[in-house]
Amino acid sequence: MLKVLITDDEMQIRQGLRMKVDWEEEGFEIVGEASNGLEALEFLRSVKVEVVITDMRMPIMDGLELARQCQQEFPHIKVVVLSGYSDFDYVRGSMKEGVKDYLLKPVAPDELEETLKKIRKETEEEKKKQAEAAQMRRLALTQLQEVQEQYLLYLVKEEWLEPAMVRERLRQLQLEELINERVEFQFITVEIRGSREDTNRLKELRLPFQMVCREMANAQDGIYSFYDPSYANMIHFIRLLGKGKETALGLANMIQNQIKRLLGLEIVIGIGNAVAGVANLKTGYISSLMAWSKSQLGSWSQVVDVSNLKEEDFEFSPDMERKLTNSVENANFGVFKENLLTLLGSNENQSIMAFSFISNRVLFLLGAIARKYDTETKDIQKLMWSCQQSIWELNSYDKVMDQLAELAQMIIEKVRTARFSNGRLIVEGVRQYLDQHYANEISLSLLSEMFHINSAHLSETFKNYAGQNFSDYLVNVRMEKAKEFLKDKQLKIIDVANLVGYSNSGYFSTVFKKHYRQTPVDYRNSLENLTS
């Protein structure tokens, strides 16, 4: 019910208005009366009201002054002014002063009813828009949260060479807790699940599901969350051990209860093995995915915990990772196959869990290479997903081996094509890397090492195809990103500087001013002036 205050200095008119329509049937409730504008304002300051119906001419404070005061103090209130014919033009000209509508006296019941219907419709539409806007604000990540999530996903899925750079970037993104090599953490993978008939409903509830999970993570000490688009119905949590009150199982149960209560969905959760140090982020992530993959098929809530597994079940040396990467990027399928057999060929002495873990690490490695060279075609994506399914199902060791080998061969052919493209595809890969990792401390020598190409040749080739050297390109990307971040008023200038890769806000401001001929503060102020 929309609450109404009737204001008129004549009691008979106030009573007459009450009798003219069935207020309740129209969706309104008269909650009070006032004999002048000042009395009405006092009432409005103590009782929530959506509609004021007021006479034009009243002692002490008239209807138009009341409308003006309402516009300042209670902008949500809709004011309808009653006026005689002689005041008609004056009232109509005052619509912009806070008057929503006007009625000529004596008020006809059908005209009052029509006005009420219009007000109710407008109010419902406004509330709907406000609810949608509020939901979008809740769903939308802040700029900082978005970059944090993207970087966490990068750390668990992509190739990175310099631990010192990673630690610095975590510091910039206010994720210092993950830097301490002695701090243990574990991943918790959370999936919403339903029957085949629920497919469309699950799609509709993905965003609300993500929103609830992020709110829970933000409310807990030492908990972070991120989203991996490869697993559309999932959210992943990182829980720091020794922080917060909740155990992993307690957190899992809390998540299940919240999602069930708020969204009516069943939740399947995988609790990964506890690991320590940034270098083991991939290990922890894959262990939670593996725990989830052990769940039974079906749309009922489950929790699978593998946190008691021994650390030796998750061994995948950095040396072997480099060998596999180099064999693919040097287009040497024979060496890749030989290393794959060394890792996975001796099934007799290997547990199912160890085989699953190493297979997943190889799969992630191949996916990172495909993305690095921008060769993640539909065929490659399809084979990657098929291979992932085979690893989870574990119907056949040989099938997993064959699919990994086939995937590597497809990627090697794409890499070989890139290397024989006169450098064009390599440059595209470098540009894509810079676009994604612009905030890192990127050097030409690092890029040449990553893409297995002489640094002088890379520098010349990049300039030929990009039209500028790589350092100028990197600065341009950083400055464009800075403009986006400056739109978020919650971010301080030093925060923006950190987000785009500058630890010193003064130097960042100097670069920004050189680029755009105004300081970051001036640019932000200019945005405010445009919207005011």
> Which regions in the chain score pLDDT beneath 50?
139-140
Classify the phi-psi angles of 226: left when phi > 0, otherwise alpha if psi is within -120 to 50, otherwise beta.
beta
Provide the token pair at 144: 């900082």
* Edge-to-edge strand ranges of the sheet holding 28-34: 28-34, 2-7, 51-55, 78-83, 99-104
Nearest-5° Cα angle at 296, 290 to 300: 115
Specify whether the CB–CB gap between 217 and 307 falls below 8 A.
Answer: no
Q: Give the closest residue to 187 by CA, choosing from 218, 163, 156, 165.
A: 156
pLDDT of residue 79: 92
The alpha-helical segments, DSSP class H, found in 179-274 are 199-204, 206-219, 248-263
| Packing angle, helices 424-436 and 397-419, rounded to 10 | 110
As a whole number of angstroms, the distance between CA 170 and CA 152 comes to 9
For tokens 């290997």, the residue is: 350
DSSP-assigned beta bridge partners for residue 238: 187, 224
Question: What is the rounded distance in angstroms from the CA atom of residue 383 to the CA atom of residue 92?
Answer: 69
pLDDT of residue 398: 85
Chain segment 364-398, per-residue pLDDT in tens: 899 888 888 877 788 888 888 888 888 887 667 88
pLDDT of the residue at 96: 59
Identify the DSSP state of 229. T
Cβ(445)–Cβ(455) below 8 Å: yes
Backbone angles phi, psi at 178, to 5 degrees: -85, -10
| Per-residue pLDDT, 106 | 86
Task: Find, among 233, 226, 239, the residue nearest to 145 by Cα.
Answer: 226
Strands (E), 320-402: none
SS3 2: strand
Give the whole-angstrom CA distance, residue 117 versus residue 115: 5
What confidence score (pLDDT) does residue 140 get? 47
What single letter denotes the amino acid at residue 411?
A: I
Percent of the residues in the chain that have a pLDDT greater than 90, as a whole number: 31
Residue owning tokens 């060998």: 323
Residue 411 in contact with residue 353, Cβ under 8 Å? no
Task: Determine the residue type at 266.
Answer: E
* Contact predicate 56/9, CB 8 Å: no
What is the distance between the alpha carbons of residues 297 and 87, in angstroms, rounded to a whole number? 74
pLDDT of residue 135: 59
pLDDT of residue 139: 47
pLDDT of the residue at 90: 65
